[in-house]
């Protein structure tokens, strides 16, 4: 499909104030071009799903505009539902559907003809390595497989904008990789993809651009390498603390220390590398730490610096 | 696996008009039917208990059941069968989906809300009409000489009864935002249908004020319509019955479709 820049997705000044007064989105501006995979990152409660639900017409923006090309998605939710396809963060209602049946039926509802939809369903089942469950009822599927079936439902006949709200939740690392490949492919075929995820390291490999959102505001936006540019000349110091110890005081030059479980992650200047090693070795000598690692900074470190949070699955493939 | 097969067939055209509506309507019938797959056994049991069960059960109250009573019960039971799926099971299903937020996906499908509601109506007919046939057949078999007199009015009577039952159910499911309240209302409806509505017994047997309340509600009129179409018993205000049931159906349909399109 030719990339058709006239059909880019635009959000301008999108603000959502819930009935209880909570400002979940605060004047968000975004643009996603056809063919672009755009990552939306941010800690729990940042307002990611709120944004997504306004695009697909589940919520109405308090202020602001959402468009795909000339189409006003806020004024015409019925057009939004045709132009966008959507994988919600919540479970899919497919307990009584067989996996392949759910995917095919979604394709038919989205206006696909039988042959195309069937071929695409088989291809997706194969590509995600879930063919063995094609005739299994949704209620019997494991969480991860159900998620993958949901992904296939959302992309069997993708819209101009494909919205994926945490597609890799519960999915094992190998199939997660297969899923990212399919996401990449959607972009290659001209879809604009909005990808909500907590998995910073995996997102880094798959997205063209990303935005980090915090308390309803965008705190950073750009390509992964542009976002990492600010961290040039920095190193990541990771200290594995002994179970149960209190987080040790860190010297001033150890920046943005964040503890997740027993893992303490921080950034230091390249110049401070040997001081960092000495500090970590000292902690090990006191029995406070068990091991350490010093390496290049990743998008994860940028994310931690911006949000003060570690990303959800960022470490579990390391 | 060929590379071409994995190519995503991106939908480029905006679809509008009657053909789009019809395609959505047809595919949503399948969607709704499949959604009910796990409930099918429960639905069948409920339909049999509330249909055949009442037809046979009433006979046990009498040593020799008067044919007029048998006729009354047998021609009331179809109403129960017809509204069971749409008014009772449907709202429970939607309440479950809303409570688990899995309704979000259904809501994001590119189908006109009217097409989705119409498809659900067809599914409720599919869930009700066979039960009506079975209940009537059992009544004829059990009660010798039951003076059934099926008239052509049976078509509009059954269709309108199912329509209004379904639309009341859709309104309860969607116009009420809290799934808990939806469940509660549904349970009250079932209870009221059996205990406080003159479907299975004549309105003269309830207190006058309760009869008056029922005259403003659709169930009693549904029973009159259906009974008139299945017997040659005289009914004076059939036109009123059709008007009341039709009005309830329309108002609830409008409420339901508007609620389906409402964004918080
Ligand atoms: N229906 C609602 N009514 C009121 N507040 C809500 C509603 N839905 C979400 N919120 C609040 O809005 C904020 C943003 O929620 P949202 O679901 O958009 O976050 P998120 O970024 O998707 O988080 P997560 O990563 O946990 O999915 C949260 O504080 C949440 O509690
Ligand atoms: Mg979310």
Range of the domain at B49: 23-263
Can you name the CATH fold of A5-222? Rossmann fold (3.40.50)
Q: Any bridge partners for residue B263, and if so which?
A: none
Query: What per-residue confidence (pLDDT) applies to A298?
Result: 82
> Are A79 and B14 inside 8 Å of each other by CB?
yes
Contacts of A108 in chain B (CB under 8 A): 27, 30
List of long-range contacts for B152-155, beta carbons under 8 Å, 24+ apart: B153/B225, B153/B228, B153/B229, B154/B226, B154/B229, B154/B230
Is residue B4 assigned to a domain? no
Polymer length of chain B: 264
- Residue A311 predicted with pLDDT over 70: no
- CB of A184 within 8 Å of a chain B CB? The answer is no
Using alpha carbons only, what angle is made at residue B112 by residues B111 and B115, rounded to the nearest 5 degrees?
A: 95
Task: Kindly report the CATH number that applies to the domain delimited by A228-314.
Answer: 3.30.70
As a whole number of Å, the CA-based R_g of chain A is 22
Category of B31 on φ-ψ map: left (φ > 0), alpha (ψ -120 to 50) or beta: alpha
Query: With an 8 Å Cβ cutoff, is B112 touching chain A?
Result: yes
Between the CA of B233 and the centroid of ligand 2 the distance, in Å, is 60
Task: Give the angle A127-A129-A132 at the CA atoms, nearest 5°.
Answer: 130
First to last CA, chain B: 44
Total domains present in chain B? 1
Residues A82/A161, Cβ–Cβ less than 8 Å: no
B106 belongs to a structural domain? yes
pLDDT at A313 over 70: no
The residue among B29, B33, B162 whose CA lies nearest residue B93 is B33
* Beta carbons of A106 and B109 less than 8 Å apart: yes
Cα A10 to Cα A164: distance, rounded to the nearest angstrom? 17
Residue B14 lies in a domain: no
Q: Is residue B7 part of a domain?
A: no
Cα–Cα distance between B105 and B109 in angstroms, integer?
7
For residue A163, pLDDT over 90 is answered with: yes
B11 pLDDT higher than 80: no
B28 in contact with chain A, both atoms CB, cutoff 8 A:
yes
pLDDT digits (tens, 9 = 90+) for A3-25: 566 789 999 999 999 999 999 99
| Residue A17 near chain B (CB below 8 Å) | no
Q: Tell whether ligand 1 has an atom less than 6 A from the beta carbon of residue A88.
A: no
| Band of residue B224 on the pLDDT scale cut at 50, 70, 90 | very high
| Residues A86-135 pLDDT 10s | 999 998 999 999 999 999 999 999 999 999 999 999 999 999 999 999 99
Among B174, B175, B173, B212, residue whose Cα is nearest residue B196:
B212
CB of A89 within 6 A of ligand 1: the answer is yes
Question: Among A59, A51, A81, A58, which Cα is nearest to A68's?
Answer: A81
Q: Say which of A78, A112, A186 has its CB closest to residue B112.
A: A78
Scan residues 37-66 of B and list those with Cβ closer than 8 Å to A: 37-39
Q: Model confidence over B37-93: pLDDT tens digits?
A: 888 888 888 888 888 888 888 888 888 888 888 898 899 999 999 998 899 999 999
pLDDT tens profile A220-278 = 999 988 888 877 888 889 999 999 888 888 888 888 888 888 888 888 998 989 999 99
How many whole angstroms separate alpha carbon A145 and alpha carbon A140?
A: 10
Q: Determine the average pLDDT of the residues in A291-314.
A: 78
Residue A24 CB less than 6 A away from ligand 1: yes
Radius of gyration (Cα) for chain B, nearest Å? Answer: 20
Residue boundaries of the structural domains of chain A: 5-222, 228-314
pLDDT at B1 over 70: no
Would you state the pLDDT for residue B5? Answer: 44
- CB of A49 within 6 A of ligand 1: the answer is yes
- Among B34, B37, B39, whose Cβ lies nearest the Cβ of A105? B34
Cα separation of the two ends of chain A: 36
Whether A112 has its CB under 8 Å from any CB of chain B: the answer is yes
Q: What is the ipTM of this complex?
A: 0.87
B24 touches chain A (CB under 8 A): yes
CB–CB of B11 and A189 under 8 A?
no
Q: What is the largest CA-CA distance in chain A?
A: 68
CB atoms inside a 10 Å sphere around CB A52: 24
Q: What span, in angstroms and rounded, lies between the C-alpha atoms of A111 and A91?
A: 23
CB contacts under 8 A, A 235-294 vs B, are: none
pLDDT of amino acid B2? 39
Q: Name, in order, each residue with C-beta under 8 angstroms of B11's C-beta and a sequence gap of 6 or more.
A: A82, A110, A111, A112, A157, A158, A159
Tokens of A187: 């972009």
Given the DSSP bridges, would you call strands A63-68 and A71-72 parallel, antiparallel or unpaired?
antiparallel
B189 touches B172 (CB < 8 A): yes
A114-127 and A143-155 helices cross at what angle (nearest 10)? 140
- Give A159 to chain B, closest Cα distance, Å: 6
């Amino acid at each position: 499909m030719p990339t058709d820049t006239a059909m880019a997705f635009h959000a301008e000044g999108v603000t959502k104030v819930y009935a209880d007064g909570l400002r979940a989105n605060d004047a968000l501006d975004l643009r996603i071009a056809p063919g672009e995979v755009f990552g939306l990152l941010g800690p729990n409660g940042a307002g990611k799903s709120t944004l997504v639900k306004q695009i697909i017409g589940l919520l109405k923006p308090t202020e602001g505009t959402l468009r795909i090309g000339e189409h006003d998605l806020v004024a015409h939710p019925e057009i939004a539902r045709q132009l966008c396809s959507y994988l919600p963060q919540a479970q899919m209602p497919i307990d009584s559907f067989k996996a392949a049946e759910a995917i095919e039926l979604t394709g038919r509802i989205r206006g696909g003809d039988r042959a195309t939809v069937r071929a695409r369903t088989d291809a997706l089942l194969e590509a995600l390595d879930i063919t063995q469950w094609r005739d299994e009822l949704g209620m019997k599927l494991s969480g991860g497989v159900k998620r993958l079936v949901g992904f296939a439902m959302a992309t069997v006949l993708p819209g101009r904008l494909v919205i994926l709200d945490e597609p890799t939740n519960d999915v094992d690392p190998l199939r997660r990789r297969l899923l990212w490949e399919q996401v990449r492919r959607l972009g290659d075929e001209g879809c604009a993809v909005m990808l909500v995820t907590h998995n910073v390291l995996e997102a880094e490999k798959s997205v063209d651009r990303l935005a980090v959102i915090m308390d309803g505001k965008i705190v950073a936006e750009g390509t992964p390498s542009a976002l990492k540019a600010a961290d040039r000349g920095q190193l990541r110091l990771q200290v594995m603390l002994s179970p149960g110890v209190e987080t040790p005081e860190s010297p001033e030059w150890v920046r943005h220390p964040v503890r997740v479980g027993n893992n303490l992650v921080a950034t230091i200047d390249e110049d401070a590398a040997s001081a960092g090693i000495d500090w970590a070795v000292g902690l090990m000598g006191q029995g406070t730490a068990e091991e350490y690692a010093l390496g290049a900074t990743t998008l994860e470190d940028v994310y931690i610096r911006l949000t003060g949070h570690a990303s959800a699955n960022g470490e579990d493939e390391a | 696996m060929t590379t071409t097969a994995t190519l995503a067939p991106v939908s480029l055209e905006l679809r509008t008009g009657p053909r789009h509506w019809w395609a959505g309507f047809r595919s949503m019938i399948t969607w709704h039917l499949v959604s009910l797959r796990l409930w099918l056994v429960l639905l069948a049991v409920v339909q049999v208990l509330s249909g055949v069960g009442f037809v046979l059960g009433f006979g046990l109250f009498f040593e020799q059941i008067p044919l007029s009573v048998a006729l009354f019960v047998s021609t009331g039971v179809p109403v129960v069968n017809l509204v069971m799926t749409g008014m009772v099971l449907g709202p429970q299903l939607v309440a479950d989906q809303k409570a688990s937020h899995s309704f979000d996906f259904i809501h994001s499908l590119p189908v006109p809300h009217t097409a989705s509601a119409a498809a659900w109506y067809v599914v409720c007919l599919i869930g009700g009409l066979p039960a009506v046939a079975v209940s009537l057949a059992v009544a004829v078999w059990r009660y010798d000489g039951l003076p059934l007199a099926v008239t052509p009015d049976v078509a509009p009577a059954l269709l309108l009864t199912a329509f209004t039952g379904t639309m009341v159910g859709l309104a309860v499911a969607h116009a009420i935002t809290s799934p808990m309240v939806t469940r509660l209302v549904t349970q009250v409806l079932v209870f009221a249908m059996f205990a406080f509505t003159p479907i299975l017994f004549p309105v003269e047997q309830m207190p006058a004020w309760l009869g008056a309340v029922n005259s403003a509600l659709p169930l009693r009129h549904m029973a009159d319509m259906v009974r008139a179409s299945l017997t040659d018993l005289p009914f004076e205000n059939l036109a009123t019955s059709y008007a009341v049931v039709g009005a309830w159906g329309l108002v609830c349909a409008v409420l339901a479709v508007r609620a389906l399109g409402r964004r918080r």
